Amino acid sequence: MTARDTVQLNPLAAAVAFALAKGVEMAEVTEVTGLGYEDLIQPSRRVDSLLLGRVFELLGRRFPGEAVGLQMARVAPFSFFGVLEHVAGYAEELRGTIEVWVRYHKLVATDLEMGFEQGPAECLLWWRHPNDQRAPSPIPPEVVVGLATRFLREVLAIEGAVARVEFTHPPTAALAVYREFFEVPVRFEAPRNGIVIFSSALERRAGQADRRRYDYLVEHLSFLEEQLAEEREHAELRRIRAAVLSNARRGEYSAEALAKRLGMSLRSLQRVAKAHGRQLREILDEVREQHARRLLKDPRLSVEEIAFLLGYSAESAFRRAFKRWSGQSPAALRRA
């Protein structure tokens, strides 16, 4: 189980703006995303990454046979890359830009994978997304690869660094369209989506290099990365707790039933809880104790009945558990 995958609002807002410029009605966008204009004006907000995929799917259905990804890459702002845009542009060399992209790309989209493989003559900067296997679409990789190559030329002012670009999908338009955009050879049905860069270009100085700003902003990215990790951790634990509460309403407090509700094995669920410094039994007991304290406030319920409602087969087992949680017996709590 993982926390809900999110994407910074910038890419989604850019995709929606492009769709509207292509003639798509906002009502269509709202239908597939549930978002309106007012939801798209908070650049630091994070949303479910599925929403961006739905906008791309909408574009694919509306404009079949067009290189929609390249069209968007030609006009989209570099803010598509979110917070990375500002930092990567101040790198002293191309290598620094790539290091920022690879190190902090999950700030833009948590489910995106990115890597850099360096060879003696050529390097590969590659991207991979879970949707590449689930519901392959040429639009996302063409947008990302297209915008990245534009960034090299227009922001870093580094010409001649790209040897070729590669896509896992077949061309969706005439090859001349791709050659005109990239100005380098384009390979289709390759193992990965990415940009092949000449190794000799990695040390080239960028056009707006500013080491002081670069170092300061990288420190800020590290801070944002820590915040995002905390948010995702809390989201996972919240999901477990929500499932515990759902089961508790039916008087079910076993770890096995919890794993079943979450659609995973008990061992996997235990590993997730442990990864966040918690024991599964502790989470279950916390909810049980809260419910026990609430039920004990009702004088109409006997301790035996409360034990049954909390999923205990015997009153004595509930008494021992409650003493372990609170340091006192159920009767002592009632007297207090």
pLDDT tens, residue by residue, 26-81: 999 999 999 888 888 876 688 888 899 999 999 999 999 899 999 999 999 998 99
* pLDDT confidence bin for 133, thresholds 50/70/90: low
Q: Report pLDDT for 45.
A: 81
Instruction: Determine what percent of the chain is predicted with pLDDT higher than 70.
Output: 97
* pLDDT confidence bin for 336, thresholds 50/70/90: confident
Q: Report pLDDT for 1.
A: 37
| Pair 156, 236 in one domain | no
Mean pLDDT of 159-187: 95
Q: Report pLDDT for 135.
A: 59
* pLDDT confidence bin for 229, thresholds 50/70/90: confident
Q: How many domains does the chain have?
A: 2
Is residue 214, in this structure, part of any structural domain at all? no
Give the domain range for residue 78.
6-209
The answer to whether residues 313 and 332 touch, using CB atoms and an 8 Å cutoff, is no
| Pair 275, 306 in one domain | yes
Residue 292 has pLDDT above 50, yes or no: yes
Residue 2 has pLDDT above 60, yes or no: no
pTM, to two decimals: 0.70
Q: Report pLDDT for 24.
A: 97
Is residue 90, in this structure, part of any structural domain at all? yes
Is residue 188, in this structure, part of any structural domain at all? yes
| Pair 91, 139 in one domain | yes
| Pair 234, 187 in one domain | no
Helix spans in the chain (H): 9-21, 26-33, 49-62, 68-75, 84-88, 94-104, 131-134, 139-154, 175-182, 211-248, 255-262, 266-275, 280-296, 303-309, 315-326, 330-335
